Amino acid sequence: MPNGAVPNYLALADLLETSIATMKGGDRLPSENELATLHGVSRVTTRAALQELERRHLVRRSKGSGTFVALRLVFTIRPDLPPSWSQTVRRAGGEPAVKSVDAVLTQPDPETRERLELGPRDKVVRLRRIGLVNGLVANTALTCLPADLAPGFRDLLATGGSLNTILTSLGYHPQREWTRVDMQVPSEEIAADLELEGRPRVWGLTSLVVDGRDGRPLEFGRGWHRPDVFDMRMEYQSKRRTQRAGAPEARS
Protein backbone atom coordinates (compact mmCIF):
# COMPACT_ATOMS: atom_id res chain seq x y z
CA MET A 1 0.00 0.00 0.00
CA PRO A 2 1.69 3.27 -1.06
CA ASN A 3 2.63 5.93 1.46
CA GLY A 4 1.26 9.43 1.07
CA ALA A 5 0.05 12.46 2.97
CA VAL A 6 -2.59 10.32 4.69
CA PRO A 7 -1.30 7.90 7.35
CA ASN A 8 -1.32 4.30 6.17
CA TYR A 9 -3.88 3.18 8.75
CA LEU A 10 -6.34 5.90 7.70
CA ALA A 11 -5.84 5.13 4.01
CA LEU A 12 -6.51 1.46 4.75
CA ALA A 13 -9.55 2.36 6.85
CA ASP A 14 -10.97 4.42 3.97
CA LEU A 15 -10.34 1.55 1.56
CA LEU A 16 -12.00 -0.98 3.88
CA GLU A 17 -14.95 1.37 4.37
CA THR A 18 -15.58 1.24 0.63
CA SER A 19 -15.52 -2.56 0.74
CA ILE A 20 -17.80 -2.67 3.78
CA ALA A 21 -20.42 -0.63 1.92
CA THR A 22 -21.09 -3.66 -0.30
CA MET A 23 -21.42 -6.08 2.64
CA LYS A 24 -24.33 -6.87 4.92
CA GLY A 25 -24.57 -6.20 8.64
CA GLY A 26 -23.12 -9.14 10.54
CA ASP A 27 -20.76 -10.25 7.75
CA ARG A 28 -17.34 -11.20 9.04
CA LEU A 29 -14.26 -9.33 7.82
CA PRO A 30 -10.99 -11.15 7.07
CA SER A 31 -8.61 -11.52 10.01
CA GLU A 32 -5.89 -8.97 10.77
CA ASN A 33 -3.27 -11.29 9.28
CA GLU A 34 -5.30 -11.79 6.11
CA LEU A 35 -5.91 -8.06 5.68
CA ALA A 36 -2.24 -7.27 6.30
CA THR A 37 -1.16 -9.76 3.64
CA LEU A 38 -3.84 -8.64 1.18
CA HIS A 39 -2.94 -4.95 1.42
CA GLY A 40 0.80 -5.24 2.00
CA VAL A 41 0.86 -3.57 5.41
CA SER A 42 1.83 -4.59 8.93
CA ARG A 43 -0.55 -6.06 11.48
CA VAL A 44 -0.07 -2.90 13.54
CA THR A 45 -1.40 -0.81 10.64
CA THR A 46 -4.26 -3.25 10.07
CA ARG A 47 -5.25 -3.20 13.73
CA ALA A 48 -5.19 0.61 13.78
CA ALA A 49 -7.38 0.69 10.65
CA LEU A 50 -9.94 -1.63 12.23
CA GLN A 51 -9.94 0.47 15.39
CA GLU A 52 -10.62 3.53 13.23
CA LEU A 53 -13.57 1.74 11.59
CA GLU A 54 -14.82 0.85 15.04
CA ARG A 55 -14.68 4.52 16.04
CA ARG A 56 -16.73 5.28 12.92
CA HIS A 57 -19.28 2.67 14.11
CA LEU A 58 -18.84 0.73 10.87
CA VAL A 59 -17.59 -2.52 12.41
CA ARG A 60 -18.02 -4.39 15.65
CA ARG A 61 -15.04 -6.22 17.09
CA SER A 62 -15.59 -9.20 19.37
CA LYS A 63 -12.65 -10.62 21.29
CA GLY A 64 -12.03 -14.18 20.20
CA SER A 65 -14.67 -14.03 17.46
CA GLY A 66 -13.38 -11.50 14.94
CA THR A 67 -14.55 -8.29 13.29
CA PHE A 68 -18.02 -7.93 11.80
CA VAL A 69 -19.83 -5.34 9.72
CA ALA A 70 -21.99 -3.20 12.02
CA LEU A 71 -25.76 -3.52 11.66
CA ARG A 72 -26.63 0.21 11.78
CA LEU A 73 -30.39 -0.35 11.91
CA VAL A 74 -32.52 2.79 11.64
CA PHE A 75 -34.30 3.15 15.00
CA THR A 76 -37.27 5.36 14.15
CA ILE A 77 -39.10 7.33 16.86
CA ARG A 78 -42.40 8.81 15.76
CA PRO A 79 -45.54 9.89 17.66
CA ASP A 80 -47.81 7.49 15.77
CA LEU A 81 -45.63 4.38 16.25
CA PRO A 82 -46.04 2.04 19.24
CA PRO A 83 -43.48 2.76 21.99
CA SER A 84 -42.11 -0.76 21.65
CA TRP A 85 -38.38 -1.46 21.38
CA SER A 86 -38.97 -4.94 19.94
CA GLN A 87 -41.40 -3.72 17.29
CA THR A 88 -39.07 -0.88 16.32
CA VAL A 89 -36.18 -3.32 15.84
CA ARG A 90 -38.33 -5.66 13.73
CA ARG A 91 -39.52 -2.76 11.62
CA ALA A 92 -35.87 -1.87 10.96
CA GLY A 93 -35.12 -5.42 9.83
CA GLY A 94 -33.54 -6.89 12.96
CA GLU A 95 -34.50 -9.84 15.16
CA PRO A 96 -34.98 -8.64 18.75
CA ALA A 97 -34.73 -10.52 22.02
CA VAL A 98 -35.00 -9.18 25.57
CA LYS A 99 -33.22 -10.56 28.61
CA SER A 100 -34.59 -9.56 32.01
CA VAL A 101 -31.80 -8.91 34.53
CA ASP A 102 -34.02 -8.06 37.49
CA ALA A 103 -37.41 -6.64 38.50
CA VAL A 104 -37.33 -4.87 41.86
CA LEU A 105 -40.13 -3.31 43.91
CA THR A 106 -38.63 -0.09 45.24
CA GLN A 107 -39.04 3.59 46.04
CA PRO A 108 -38.51 5.77 42.96
CA ASP A 109 -35.96 8.55 42.71
CA PRO A 110 -37.37 12.12 42.79
CA GLU A 111 -37.44 12.59 38.99
CA THR A 112 -39.17 9.25 38.40
CA ARG A 113 -41.74 10.02 41.11
CA GLU A 114 -42.50 13.34 39.43
CA ARG A 115 -42.66 11.91 35.89
CA LEU A 116 -44.99 9.09 36.93
CA GLU A 117 -47.09 11.47 39.10
CA LEU A 118 -46.77 9.24 42.17
CA GLY A 119 -47.57 9.98 45.78
CA PRO A 120 -44.91 10.05 48.54
CA ARG A 121 -45.53 6.41 49.51
CA ASP A 122 -46.12 4.94 46.06
CA LYS A 123 -43.61 2.40 44.82
CA VAL A 124 -42.45 1.36 41.38
CA VAL A 125 -41.32 -1.82 39.70
CA ARG A 126 -37.84 -1.05 38.41
CA LEU A 127 -36.75 -3.23 35.51
CA ARG A 128 -33.24 -3.74 34.29
CA ARG A 129 -33.15 -5.34 30.85
CA ILE A 130 -30.68 -6.07 28.09
CA GLY A 131 -31.81 -6.05 24.46
CA LEU A 132 -30.22 -8.18 21.76
CA VAL A 133 -30.45 -7.82 17.98
CA ASN A 134 -29.64 -10.86 15.86
CA GLY A 135 -28.15 -12.46 18.96
CA LEU A 136 -25.78 -9.56 19.80
CA VAL A 137 -26.10 -7.15 22.72
CA ALA A 138 -27.57 -3.90 21.42
CA ASN A 139 -29.02 -1.94 24.34
CA THR A 140 -29.63 -1.90 28.05
CA ALA A 141 -32.46 -0.11 29.83
CA LEU A 142 -33.67 0.88 33.28
CA THR A 143 -37.45 1.30 33.29
CA CYS A 144 -39.82 2.20 36.12
CA LEU A 145 -43.56 1.49 36.14
CA PRO A 146 -46.14 2.21 38.88
CA ALA A 147 -46.40 -0.87 41.08
CA ASP A 148 -50.21 -0.70 41.20
CA LEU A 149 -50.84 -1.10 37.45
CA ALA A 150 -52.13 -4.65 37.97
CA PRO A 151 -52.07 -7.50 40.54
CA GLY A 152 -48.94 -9.61 40.15
CA PHE A 153 -47.47 -7.00 37.82
CA ARG A 154 -43.90 -7.49 39.04
CA ASP A 155 -43.94 -11.24 38.37
CA LEU A 156 -45.40 -10.67 34.92
CA LEU A 157 -42.67 -8.20 34.01
CA ALA A 158 -39.88 -10.44 35.31
CA THR A 159 -40.65 -13.03 32.62
CA GLY A 160 -39.22 -10.79 29.89
CA GLY A 161 -40.91 -10.01 26.59
CA SER A 162 -42.22 -6.75 25.21
CA LEU A 163 -43.37 -4.18 27.77
CA ASN A 164 -45.74 -2.74 25.19
CA THR A 165 -47.34 -6.17 24.69
CA ILE A 166 -47.67 -6.74 28.45
CA LEU A 167 -49.27 -3.34 29.04
CA THR A 168 -51.65 -3.85 26.12
CA SER A 169 -52.65 -7.27 27.47
CA LEU A 170 -53.58 -5.56 30.75
CA GLY A 171 -55.99 -3.25 28.92
CA TYR A 172 -53.78 -0.17 28.65
CA HIS A 173 -53.09 1.82 25.48
CA PRO A 174 -49.37 2.71 25.62
CA GLN A 175 -48.49 5.89 23.79
CA ARG A 176 -45.23 7.81 23.66
CA GLU A 177 -45.64 11.15 25.43
CA TRP A 178 -42.10 12.39 24.77
CA THR A 179 -38.59 11.11 24.11
CA ARG A 180 -35.22 12.79 24.55
CA VAL A 181 -32.22 11.51 22.57
CA ASP A 182 -28.59 12.45 23.20
CA MET A 183 -25.08 11.03 23.17
CA GLN A 184 -23.81 10.00 26.60
CA VAL A 185 -20.70 8.58 28.21
CA PRO A 186 -22.09 5.46 29.93
CA SER A 187 -21.29 4.42 33.47
CA GLU A 188 -18.99 1.46 33.98
CA GLU A 189 -22.01 -0.76 34.70
CA ILE A 190 -23.82 0.33 31.53
CA ALA A 191 -20.66 -0.08 29.44
CA ALA A 192 -20.27 -3.62 30.82
CA ASP A 193 -23.90 -4.43 29.97
CA LEU A 194 -23.28 -3.21 26.41
CA GLU A 195 -20.04 -5.22 26.15
CA LEU A 196 -18.08 -2.10 25.28
CA GLU A 197 -14.33 -1.67 25.46
CA GLY A 198 -13.79 1.40 27.61
CA ARG A 199 -16.62 3.93 27.86
CA PRO A 200 -17.23 5.39 24.38
CA ARG A 201 -20.29 7.55 23.84
CA VAL A 202 -23.56 5.76 23.16
CA TRP A 203 -27.09 6.79 22.26
CA GLY A 204 -29.08 7.72 25.36
CA LEU A 205 -32.89 7.67 25.26
CA THR A 206 -35.14 8.98 28.02
CA SER A 207 -38.87 8.41 27.49
CA LEU A 208 -42.25 8.79 29.12
CA VAL A 209 -45.09 6.48 28.02
CA VAL A 210 -48.70 7.23 28.98
CA ASP A 211 -52.11 5.64 28.51
CA GLY A 212 -53.53 7.04 25.28
CA ARG A 213 -57.04 7.20 26.75
CA ASP A 214 -56.56 9.28 29.89
CA GLY A 215 -52.90 10.32 29.88
CA ARG A 216 -51.98 8.29 32.95
CA PRO A 217 -48.18 7.80 33.12
CA LEU A 218 -47.34 4.13 32.59
CA GLU A 219 -43.60 3.96 32.10
CA PHE A 220 -40.57 6.18 32.61
CA GLY A 221 -37.31 4.80 31.34
CA ARG A 222 -33.73 5.41 30.33
CA GLY A 223 -32.06 3.32 27.66
CA TRP A 224 -28.55 3.15 26.23
CA HIS A 225 -28.00 1.92 22.68
CA ARG A 226 -24.82 0.89 20.87
CA PRO A 227 -24.20 3.28 17.94
CA ASP A 228 -22.70 0.44 15.90
CA VAL A 229 -26.13 -1.21 15.98
CA PHE A 230 -28.48 1.77 15.68
CA ASP A 231 -28.83 5.04 13.80
CA MET A 232 -31.41 7.17 15.62
CA ARG A 233 -34.09 8.89 13.56
CA MET A 234 -36.65 11.29 15.05
CA GLU A 235 -39.67 11.97 12.83
CA TYR A 236 -42.54 14.30 13.56
CA GLN A 237 -45.33 16.09 11.75
CA SER A 238 -46.59 19.53 12.68
CA LYS A 239 -50.08 19.76 14.13
CA ARG A 240 -51.06 22.06 11.28
CA ARG A 241 -50.03 19.57 8.59
CA THR A 242 -51.55 16.66 10.52
CA GLN A 243 -54.92 18.39 10.89
CA ARG A 244 -54.85 19.48 7.23
CA ALA A 245 -54.29 15.85 6.20
CA GLY A 246 -57.24 14.75 8.32
CA ALA A 247 -55.11 12.48 10.53
CA PRO A 248 -55.40 12.30 14.32
CA GLU A 249 -53.55 15.11 16.05
CA ALA A 250 -50.03 14.00 17.03
CA ARG A 251 -48.96 14.60 20.60
CA SER A 252 -45.58 16.26 21.07
DSSP string, 111-157: HHHHHTT--TT--EEEEEEEEEETTEEEEEEEEEEETTSSTTHHHHH
Asked if residue 107 and residue 16 are part of one domain, the reply reads: no
The CATH number linked to 102 is: 3.40.1410.10
Asked if residue 146 and residue 213 are part of one domain, the reply reads: yes
Asked if residue 64 and residue 85 are part of one domain, the reply reads: no
Residue 63 is part of which domain span? 8-69
Q: How many residues does the chain have?
A: 252
Domain boundary among 50, 69, 88: 69
Asked if residue 211 and residue 107 are part of one domain, the reply reads: yes
The CATH number linked to 62 is: 1.10.10.10
Domain count, the chain: 2
Q: In 3D, which of 225, 227, 34 has the Cα closest to residue 49?
A: 34
pLDDT (tens, 9 = 90+) of the chain, 252 residues, equals: 555 688 999 999 999 999 999 998 889 999 999 999 999 999 999 999 999 999 999 999 887 788 999 988 999 999 888 999 999 999 999 999 999 898 899 999 999 999 999 999 999 999 999 999 999 999 999 999 999 987 777 777 766 678 888 899 889 999 999 999 999 999 999 999 999 989 999 999 999 999 999 999 999 999 999 999 999 999 876 555 444 444 344 333
Buried b (16+ CB within 10 A) or exposed e, 197-215: eeebebbbbbbbbbbeeee
Cα 57 from Cα 69, distance rounded (Å): 9
Q: In 3D, which of 81, 67, 100 has the Cα closest to residue 212?
A: 81
Q: In 3D, which of 170, 187, 189 has the Cα closest to residue 125?
A: 170
The β-bridge partners of 133 are: 96, 136
Asked if residue 147 and residue 117 are part of one domain, the reply reads: yes
* Within-domain flag for 252: no
* Within-domain flag for 250: no
Asked if residue 93 and residue 208 are part of one domain, the reply reads: yes
Cα 231 from Cα 228, distance rounded (Å): 8
What pLDDT score was predicted for residue 86? Answer: 93
| Whether the Cβ atoms of residue 242 and residue 251 lie closer than 8 Å to each other | no
pTM here is 0.83
Asked if residue 236 and residue 158 are part of one domain, the reply reads: yes
